[in-house]
């Protein structure tokens, strides 16, 4: 690591080589098209940028590739003040997410819930790579997704009156009991319905899912919800999770728009390409639309019954012309830079900067779409070119820095 002088200031940014995750719901066109390539031979779902142990980015150092997790472990000073509030680890994980098909319905735990769940499964001796394990680490996973293309998503329970209106409009007898339970229920009714749907027998679930699939195939009001239902029915035939999905609020984000997802909020991404940032965690509690393990009691225990409408974030313009997406999460702050010429910034904490369109030169490093660099704390960096950049930072650095 000859680039680093031990005063804690690095002489340059480090270009990253990032892992592409090939989950089944990924796209063969979105990431490939972004990089100016032909369609990929298989699904490309996520590009991970960070130091998470599952798939750490690799840094170009002295002609070698070294894991960013190892670089940070060898010299935690590159985190700057963030190291004191994140136990010497990079507190966020940045991703490119390309949804070619709906992701599983899912929610994430609180920090306390993640610590307890992780410790409990460790005591039980459940291996980290066991598919029936719910907690892969002891961290929470608040997250934000910012659209690069039109991006459809489901997030949080819809107002019960709107769900009843939509379900009645479908004219599906299989939903009559659900409607009655919603109309006569209390605060936790929606969560109780989720538990009911996820514990139906395979035959009961299949019959209900097929009835709902037939209903959303018909023309009518609520076209966004119907179209999402049709896509779910196509990808996940016979899965009663379609009913849960249709109980959630639907949104189509336009490029540059974002939504934040806190702990306990049931959600699913449907399709589109976006930049995602989250606390550095891989804890996912699934709730249907997946062949993977669904831990119903654990999911139900973390779900929040509150109905909170989706807030679409358009980016708050700063005095430097950067567009920030503030959230309650202290681990991260995402911002967007529309590059035309040259910009210069100082990294108060560790930063990852990614090009999403056009091209930019970061000193000696030339980046195109999907390329990224890591910037150690204390480094003044500049980018020259034309295109769009996304910048990941730590929101709360302590000592008066932010």
- Nearest Cα neighbor of 135 from 153, 151, 115 is 115
Q: Which residue's structure tokens are 């070698």?
A: 64
60 phi and psi, to 5 degrees? -80, 110
SS3 content of the chain, % helix, strand, coil (to 5): 25, 30, 40
Active-site entry in 152, 231, 286, 393: 286
CB 395 within 8 A of CB 326: yes
| Residue 188 is a catalytic residue | no
Tokens standing for residue 27: 């796209």
CB 285 within 8 A of CB 302: yes
DSSP string for 135-161:
-SSS----EEEEESS-EEEEEEEPPHH
CB 108 within 8 A of CB 140: yes
Pairing of strands 351-362, 372-375: antiparallel
Pairing of strands 267-279, 92-99: antiparallel
Tokens standing for residue 140: 């929470």
What is the DSSP-derived secondary structure letter of residue 199?
Answer: T
Looking at the annotation, which residues are catalytic? 286
């Amino acid at each position: 690591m000859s680039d680093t002088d031990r005063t804690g200031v690095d002489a340059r940014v480090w270009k990253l080589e990032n892992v592409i995750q090939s989950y089944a719901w990924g796209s063969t066109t979105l990431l490939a098209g972004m990089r100016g390539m032909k369609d990929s031979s298989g699904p490309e779902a996520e590009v991970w940028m960070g130091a998470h142990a599952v798939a750490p980015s690799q840094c170009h150092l002295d002609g070698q590739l070294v894991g960013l997790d190892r670089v940070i472990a060898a010299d935690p000073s590159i985190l700057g003040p963030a190291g004191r509030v994140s136990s010497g680890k990079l507190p966020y994980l940045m991703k490119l997410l390309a949804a070619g098909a709906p992701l599983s319905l899912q929610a994430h735990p609180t920090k306390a819930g993640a610590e307890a769940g992780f410790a409990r499964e460790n005591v039980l001796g459940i291996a980290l790579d066991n598919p029936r394990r719910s907690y892969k680490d002891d961290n929470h996973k608040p997250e934000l997704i910012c659209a690069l293309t039109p991006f459809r998503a489901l997030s949080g329970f819809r107002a019960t009156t709107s769900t009843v209106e939509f379900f009645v409009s479908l004219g599906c007898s299989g939903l009559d009991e659900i409607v009655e339970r919603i109309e006569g229920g209390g605060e936790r009714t929606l969560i109780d319905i989720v538990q009911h749907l996820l514990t139906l027998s395979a035959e009961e679930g299949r019959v209900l899912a097929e009835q709902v699939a037939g209903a959303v195939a018909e023309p009518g009001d609520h076209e966004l919800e119907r179209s999402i239902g049709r896509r779910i029915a196509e990808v996940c035939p016979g899965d009663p999770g379609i009913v849960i999905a249709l109980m959630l609020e639907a949104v189509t984000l336009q490029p540059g728009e974002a939504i934040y997802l806190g702990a306990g909020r049931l959600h699913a991404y449907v399709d589109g390409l976006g930049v995602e940032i989250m606390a550095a965690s891989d804890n996912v509690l699934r709730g249907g639309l997946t062949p993977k393990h669904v831990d119903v009691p654990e999911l139900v225990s973390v779900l929040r019954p509150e109905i909170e409408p989706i807030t679409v974030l358009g980016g708050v313009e700063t005095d430097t012309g950067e567009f920030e997406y503030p959230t309650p999460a202290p681990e991260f702050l995402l911002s967007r830079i529309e590059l035309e010429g040259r910009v210069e910034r100082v990294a108060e904490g560790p930063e990852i900067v990614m090009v999403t369109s056009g091209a930019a030169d970061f000193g000696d490093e030339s980046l195109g779409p999907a390329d990224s660099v890591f910037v150690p704390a204390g480094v003044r960096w500049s980018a020259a070119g034309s295109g769009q950049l996304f910048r990941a930072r730590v929101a709360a650095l302590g000592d008066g820095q932010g």
